[in-house]
Structures are given as structure tokens and as C-alpha cells.
């Protein structure tokens, strides 16, 4: 499998464990996550089950805030709801002071339901509908990142009709290659996102002249899972040039939304260096007197979640297949992006026995329903439990019920206690809202 998310050779089980301080191995309890035995969670709630760690989410939020503060950056974190919009997780980040970055009315209302103030929400996306914009404006949304001239005109009409001023930023497409997977890059001229730099000055002036709009600045978001500060440096330098250009034209530019995309280590490698990232921000846009926003999703929740699964059976053809009770219906990233996820057994003994290559797959009737190819794993007989690592972002959020598979349960571990935050869907629930005509 072409592997776009780890660099270098695949790490062994011990290295995966060592790179994740929130995981530990207990002789009798096996693999523990933030001090909670994962086997006990699987016993109590069944599998597949999502397990999230509140402590690790808080630690990551604070580490990013500290890195930004160390560079004296007036930056506010807007958590990207699409990474994982569970109310318990939104509530956790709200308590830490985060706002939200949303890409639909549904996500805006989710953030509101979790108590995030409407004016602390930024709304991005290439295709916001009239109904969505109207509802968000009426509810007092903080900022709308506009991605086209067409949207700007629509927004002006809606805001005027409602008698409100929409605070807008123009999303600039900086034409920068984020060096990430083609399906998660967004800042290239050929991508559907944002407004070409050449069109920004005229459109910004136009926005300032339209009724119902208050342009406050620019937004940049170049992609996801970015591991080097270099593409950020290029994009932010282009953003800084544009800010200076707009100001020279007499425009008011007070805010810059720096987007998300902070990459994490899916293997044993480190994620994006936060100190280097913050230094890049300082160097490129720090001297412009701008109010800054960052929109991390994956960085905050990715490593702080895992998917527990049971082995249904091991099948031997020319290869060894480990068939799990979890599938692409839970964790779609390997099928969608050829993403690499670490897989650890839960039994302590399994960390010191011989390993051999195995394909780890789900039971869904699609060849794409595969988590790993030729992964070095111990013998995993039926009933054995495994953890799919770094599944806290773009995991449950992308779940489906394909093959009539009910949605998995989810559990939040906090200070040594595990609490159910989503019950497992019942099979009958799958058709509960379907209507038989006649």
C-alpha cells in the first residue's frame, strides 16, 4: 500500500508504544490508555469501540497554546469540528477556551449545542448554501470565510436582507504544495478551494463596498497532515504580502486565519514541530499587528483516540489475513487516503512473541476494506483484541452504516475513568426512520 502518512520503515510494536507516552503496558491488564485498561473497556462495551483520552486532548491543546504564546502571537484556537465533532469533545475544548471552525450549518449547530458562543465560530467551505448562511448569520456567527465572488454576492444579499453586518475574511488560495497526500491538499491553484491571489485585491475592495459585509482580513488553509513548516512559511509569506498590498490600497485588514493542517506522527516519527511552526508564524506574519486564528483538527484529537477491535478469524491463503470486527465503515482513512495506522495487540505477552506479515482487514464486501498490508504482527487467534492507533480525528466522523453495520460505541477516558459517550447503535435503529410506502 502506497503509504503517504509515515516516513521510513514501519515501526515495530515496541517503537509504536514508546512514541505514545499515554499508552502503557501492564503485565496483567495489557495495553492501557491514559491509565485505563483497554481490555476492560472492550469487555464492558463490546467491540468495535472508539476510545478517546481527555487528558491527551487537553495536553495537546495546551502545548499548541504554549508554543504560540512563546512567540508572543495573539492567536486564538478554533477547533476544526470536522475532525471529530462529538459533543463531549467540543465541550472539552470549549472549557479550555477554544472556538470552533465549521464547514456546515450542522457543524455550527453542533458547536452551539456544546456551548461554544456563536461569535467564536468561523465558517469555511466552498459551497455554503443560502439557507446555511442565513441561519448562521441570524444566529450571530463570528466570521465567514468567503471562497468565491459568487458567494460574496450571495452573502451580501442575505446579510442586507437580515439587516446584519457579516464579518468576512477572503480565503486566499496561495498556490502552495503542502507536501501532503493529493486528497488532503487544498492550497494548490488546481484545487477547488479559495480565491486566486490575483483576484483578491479587487474582490476585497468590492466586499468593502457591498452592503451587509465587513471584510476584516484573509484566511489560508493549505491542506492537512503537514509535517514541515516549509509550506506554511511559503503560504504565510504570500498572505503577509497580500495584507501589505491591501493596506497600501487603503483597506482595513485586522485578522488573519492561518488554517489548520498540523501533522501528527502516525508511526514512531514526531509530528510537526510546534515551536518551529510558531516561529514560522512569527517570522512571516508576526509583525503585522494582526489578530491571528489557527484551526487545528487532527493535531488536537488524532493521537488521542483509538479504535478497539476483536479478531473474528485468521484466514490463510497465499497470505495471512487477520479479519477484524471493525471495518472501513468505522475507520475509512486507509481506504480513502491509503493512510497508515499503527495496530497494537492488547495482550502484554503479544509484545514479546515472534511476528510475521499479515494483512489486517474488515468484513465489509469491498477490497478497499483493509487496514494494513504485510504488517508484522503476532499470531492473533479469534477473540484476540487489537487497537488501531491515532484514530481520534477523521475516524468516527467519517463512519457509515454500509453493509448494515450499526454505528460503534464510543468511550471517553478521563482521569482513570472511562465513560460511555455514545451507545452502540442497535441493528433495529438502522431502519427505524425508513418509511415503507403504501
Ligand X SMILES: *Cc1c(COP(=O)(O)O)cnc(C)c1O
Angle between helices 274-285 and 229-248 (to 10 degrees): 20
Reduced to 3 states, what is the DSSP secondary structure of residue 309? strand
Cα 123 to Cα 142: distance, rounded to the nearest angstrom: 8
Residues that bind ligand X (CB under 6 A): 80, 82-83, 101, 103, 124, 221, 224, 259-262, 295-299, 393
Nearest CA among 298, 257, 294 for reference residue 84: 298
The residues annotated with a catalytic role in the active site are 365
Q: How far is the CB of 156 from ligand X (least distance, A)?
A: 21
Nearest distance from C-beta of residue 79 to ligand X, angstroms: 9
HSE-up (13 A, CA, CB side) for residue 216:
19
In this structure, the strands spanning 143-146 and 166-173 are parallel
Determine the Cα–Cα distance for residues 98 and 61; give it in Å rounded to an integer.
Answer: 9
Beta carbon of residue 224, minimum distance to ligand X (angstroms, whole number):
3
In the complex with ligand X, which residue's Cβ is closer, 78 or 407? 78
d(CA 412, CA 422): 9
What's the rounded Cα separation, in Å, for the pair 328 and 343?
A: 15
List the end-to-end C-alpha distance of the chain, in Å, as a whole number: 48
Nearest to ligand X of 281, 393 (CB atom): 393
Closest by CA position to 414, among listed 20, 80, 41, 49: 41
Least distance in angstroms from the C-beta of 151 to ligand X: 14
Amino acid at each position: 500500500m502506497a503509504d503517504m502518512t509515515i516516513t521510513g520503515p514501519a515501526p515495530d510494536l515496541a517503537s509504536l508504544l514508546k512514541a505514545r507516552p499515554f499508552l502503557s503496558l501492564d503485565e496483567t491488564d495489557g495495553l492501557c490508555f491514559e491509565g485505563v485498561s483497554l481490555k476492560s473497556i472492550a469487555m464492558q462495551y463490546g467491540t468495535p469501540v472508539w476510545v478517546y483520552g481527555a487528558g491527551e486532548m487537553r495536553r495537546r491543546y495546551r502545548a499548541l497554546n504554549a508554543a504560540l504564546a512563546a512567540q508572543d502571537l495573539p492567536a486564538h484556537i478554533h477547533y476544526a469540528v470536522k475532525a471529530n465533532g462529538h459533543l463531549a469533545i467540543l465541550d472539552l475544548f470549549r472549557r479550555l477556551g477554544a472556538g470552533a471552525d465549521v464547514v456546515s450549518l450542522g457543524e455550527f449547530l453542533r458547536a452551539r449545542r456544546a456551548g461554544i458562543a456563536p461569535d467564536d465560530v468561523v465558517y469555511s467551505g466552498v459551497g455554503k448554501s443560502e439557507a446555511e448562511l442565513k441561519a448562521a448569520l441570524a444566529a450571530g456567527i463570528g466570521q465567514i470565510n468567503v471562497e468565491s465572488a459568487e458567494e460574496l454576492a450571495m452573502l451580501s444579499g442575505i446579510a442586507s436582507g437580515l439587516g446584519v453586518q457579516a464579518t468576512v475574511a477572503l480565503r486566499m488560495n496561495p498556490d502552495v504544495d503542502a507536501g501532503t497526500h493529493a486528497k488532503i491538499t487544498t492550497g494548490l491553484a488546481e484545487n477547488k478551494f479559495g480565491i486566486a491571489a490575483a483576484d483578491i485585491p479587487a474582490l476585497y475592495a468590492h466586499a468593502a463596498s457591498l452592503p451587509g459585509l465587513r471584510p476584516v482580513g484573509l484566511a489560508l488553509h493549505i491542506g492537512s497532515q503537514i509535517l514541515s513548516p516549509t509550506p506554511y512559511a511559503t503560504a504565510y509569506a504570500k498572505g503577509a504580502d497580500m495584507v501589505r498590498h491591501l493596506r497600501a490600497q487603503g483597506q482595513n485588514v485586522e485578522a488573519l486565519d492561518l488554517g489548520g493542517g498540523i501533522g501528527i506522527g502516525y508511526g514512531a516519527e514526531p509530528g510537526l514541530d510546534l515551536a518551529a511552526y510558531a516561529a514560522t508564524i512569527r517570522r512571516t506574519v508576526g509583525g503585522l499587528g494582526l489578530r491571528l486564528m489557527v484551526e487545528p483538527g487532527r493535531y488536537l484529537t488524532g493521537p488521542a483516540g483509538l479504535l478497539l477491535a476483536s479478531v473474528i478469524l485468521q484466514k490463510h491463503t497465499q497470505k495471512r489475513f487477520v479479519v477484524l470486527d471493525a471495518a472501513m465503515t468505522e475507520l475509512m482513512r486507509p481506504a480513502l487516503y491509503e493512510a497508515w495506522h499503527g495496530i497494537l495487540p492488547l495482550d502484554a505477552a503479544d509484545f514479546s512473541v515472534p511476528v510475521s506479515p499479515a494483512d489486517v482487514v474488515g468484513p465489509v464486501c469491498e477490497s478497499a476494506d483493509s487496514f494494513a498490508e504485510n504488517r508484522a504482527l503476532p499470531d492473533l487467534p479469534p477473540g484476540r483484541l487489537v487497537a488501531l492507533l491515532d484514530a481520534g480525528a477523521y475516524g468516527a466522523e467519517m463512519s457509515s452504516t454500509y453493509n448494515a453495520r450499526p454505528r460503534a460505541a464510543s468511550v471517553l477516558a478521563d482521569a482513570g475513568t472511562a465513560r460511555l459517550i455514545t451507545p452502540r447503535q442497535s441493528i433495529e435503529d438502522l431502519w427505524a426512520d425508513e418509511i415503507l410506502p403504501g
